[in-house]
């Protein structure tokens, strides 16, 4: 136990110049450890406790060493430390400093388009109604889910569903959350979901006059395949994918269409990269088609947070030519400044630009939509801008003196806050060269 009391004394001395909260925490650790050890009769057990306490104190020391370093930053960074203690920033990231904050998402290369042309989270649709921004020849309804927040569009039966996007441009991205239910034990009943890319609006893939599609078999094997068909010229593709679909789990789907090229990611992993799949103007419209999805068997296919964005001038061009770049592709948890993992690629692009241009300093400006109180939105936008700054510093190694932050809340809307698309475009992060 001498080792324990020696380390405790060192810790208390070290933190005598730190804040009161640190001292209180170490005092509690010391008292708890002492009480626990005194209750043990056998020396062997006490020695085991000593080892555990040593490791725990080492972790605490590392944590507060990091905090002391942060305390030496400017006033703006002091605000970041305070926000992190409130649980408003980065709380979904690993606590171990040796693990990259974005984990497996460090291989996620999807960058969303920078101008939203369609957005639907079913927010204004009543539960049980068919969503106003979709079309079908069958039926569907807006539902809630006990495991995941928000409203969801439930599609079923043997039907086709089209988001009311109008004709899409040559270059665009699509993102949505996909959730299935009732399929973990489905080993016999044929059930599938198609995500189709068609050249004219139609409620079925077969009636669209040629299409490309990703087929997801909703059975235990959960295989996926990619194909295209129609009268247009080659190449023809019909191939099984190695990646299995995650049944009865939430999956974030990201799609990039660049003329004939189609890329699809599921969560962080790219499962499709087909340079010439979308022949003959395929992809001007998107369709979801279900086969054998039976609600009476408690089978569900749910879609939410559906976003289509046009890919216009890239980030580097905008920063170099206009001195500013705005993106809706940095995502946060609802009403929080917690950056979602799928924001990795766009943050990396910003960091790469800063690394390649070491003389450039950047202001990060947070914007919100008009939902909520003005003061709350102003504070939230500032915290989100600070979270982006913190990520660029801690995850990508950008020097903090090159970054400043500002929150503007709802004061500079780009579009009408009364529409879902308008609010989605107003929730953005802006980067301005200083």
Res 352: pLDDT: 94
428 and 325 Cβ atoms separated by less than 8 Å: no
- Domains of the chain by start residue, with CATH: 2-72 (no CATH), 115-310 (2.60.120.560), 313-433 (3.30.1330.60)
Residue-by-residue DSSP string for 278-311:
S-TTTTSEEEEEEESB-GGGT-EEEEEEEEEEE-
pLDDT surpassing 90 at residue 37: no
CA distance 15 to 28: 14
Name the band, by pLDDT with cuts 50, 70 and 90, for residue 79. Answer: very low
Res 101: pLDDT: 66
Res 113: pLDDT: 93
Question: Residue 245, exposed/middle/buried by CB under 10 A (0-12, 13-18, 19+)?
Answer: buried
- β partners of residue 180: 301
* Closest listed residue to residue 292, CA positions, set 117, 159, 110: 159
Name the band, by pLDDT with cuts 50, 70 and 90, for residue 33. Answer: very low
When mean pLDDT is compared across 39-48, 126-135, 351-360, the lowest value belongs to: 39-48
Q: How close are the terminal C-alpha atoms of the chain, in Å?
A: 56
Reported pTM: 0.74
pLDDT surpassing 90 at residue 314: no
Res 235: pLDDT: 66
CA distance 67 to 113: 37
CA distance 310 to 296: 38
379, two tokens: 């504070």
pLDDT tens across 1-28, in order? Answer: 444 444 444 444 444 434 434 444 444 4
83 and 34 Cβ atoms separated by less than 8 Å: no
pLDDT surpassing 70 at residue 93: no
Mean pLDDT of 300-320: 91
When mean pLDDT is compared across 41-45, 154-158, 369-373, the lowest value belongs to: 41-45
Q: What are the angstrom distances between the C-alpha of 223 and each of 75, 108, 236, 247, 272?
A: 53, 22, 20, 10, 14
Mean pLDDT of 243-263: 94
pLDDT tens across 144-177, in order? Answer: 998 899 999 999 988 999 999 999 999 999 999 9
Q: How many CB atoms lie within 10 A of CB 357?
A: 15
Percent of the chain clearing pLDDT 90 (strictly above): 58
CA distance 427 to 335: 11
- Cα 361 to chain center, whole Å? 26
Res 185: pLDDT: 80
Res 231: pLDDT: 65
Mean pLDDT of 191-214: 93
pLDDT surpassing 50 at residue 338: yes
Mean pLDDT of 322-328: 92
Go through the chain and tell me how many residues it has. 434
């Amino acid at each position: 136990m001498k080792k324990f009391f020696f380390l405790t004394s060192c810790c208390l001395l070290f933190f005598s110049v730190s804040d009161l909260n640190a001292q209180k925490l170490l005092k509690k650790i010391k008292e708890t450890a002492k009480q626990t050890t005194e209750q043990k009769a056998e020396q062997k057990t006490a020695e085991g406790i000593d080892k555990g306490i040593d490791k725990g104190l080492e972790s605490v020391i590392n944590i507060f060493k990091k905090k002391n370093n942060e305390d030496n930053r400017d006033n703006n960074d002091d605000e970041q430390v305070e926000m992190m203690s409130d649980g408003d920033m980065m709380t979904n990231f690993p606590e171990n400093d040796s693990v990259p904050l974005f984990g497996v998402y460090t291989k996620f290369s999807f960058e969303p388009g920078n101008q939203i042309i369609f957005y639907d989270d079913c927010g204004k649709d009543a539960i049980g109604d068919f969503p106003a921004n979709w079309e079908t020849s069958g039926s569907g309804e807006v539902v809630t889910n006990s495991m995941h927040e928000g409203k969801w569009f439930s599609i079923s039966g043997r039907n086709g569903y089209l988001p009311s996007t109008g004709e899409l441009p040559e270059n665009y991205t699509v993102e949505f959350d996909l959730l299935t239910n009732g399929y973990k034990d489905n080993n016999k009943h044929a059930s599938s979901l198609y995500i189709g890319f068609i050249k004219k609006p139609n409620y079925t893939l077969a009636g669209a006059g040629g299409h490309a599609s990703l087929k997801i078999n909703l059975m235990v094997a959960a295989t996926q395949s990619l194909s295209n068909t129609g009268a247009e010229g080659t190449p023809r593709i019909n191939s099984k994918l190695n990646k299995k679909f995650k049944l009865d789990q939430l999956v974030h789907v990201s799609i990039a269409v660049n003329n004939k090229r189609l890329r699809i990611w599921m969560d962080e992993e790219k499962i499709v990269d087909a340079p010439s799949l979308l022949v003959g103007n395929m992809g001007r419209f998107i369709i979801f088609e279900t086969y054998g999805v039976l609600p009476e068997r408690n089978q569900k296919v749910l879609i939410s947070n559906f976003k289509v964005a046009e890919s216009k001038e890239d980030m580097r061009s905008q920063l170099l030519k206009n001195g500013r770049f705005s993106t809706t592709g940095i995502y946060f948890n609802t009403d929080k400044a917690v950056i979602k993992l799928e924001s990795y690629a766009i943050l990396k692009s910003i960091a790469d630009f800063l690394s390649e241009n070491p003389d450039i300093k950047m202001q990060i400006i947070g914007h919100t939509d008009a939902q909520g109180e003005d003061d709350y939105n102003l504070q939230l936008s500032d915290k989100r801008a600070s979270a982006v700054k913190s990520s660029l510093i801690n995850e990508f190694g950008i020097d903090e003196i090159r970054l400043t932050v500002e929150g503007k809340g709802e004061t500079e809307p780009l579009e009408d806050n009364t529409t879902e698309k308008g609010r989605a475009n107003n929730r953005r992060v802006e980067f301005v060269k200083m």
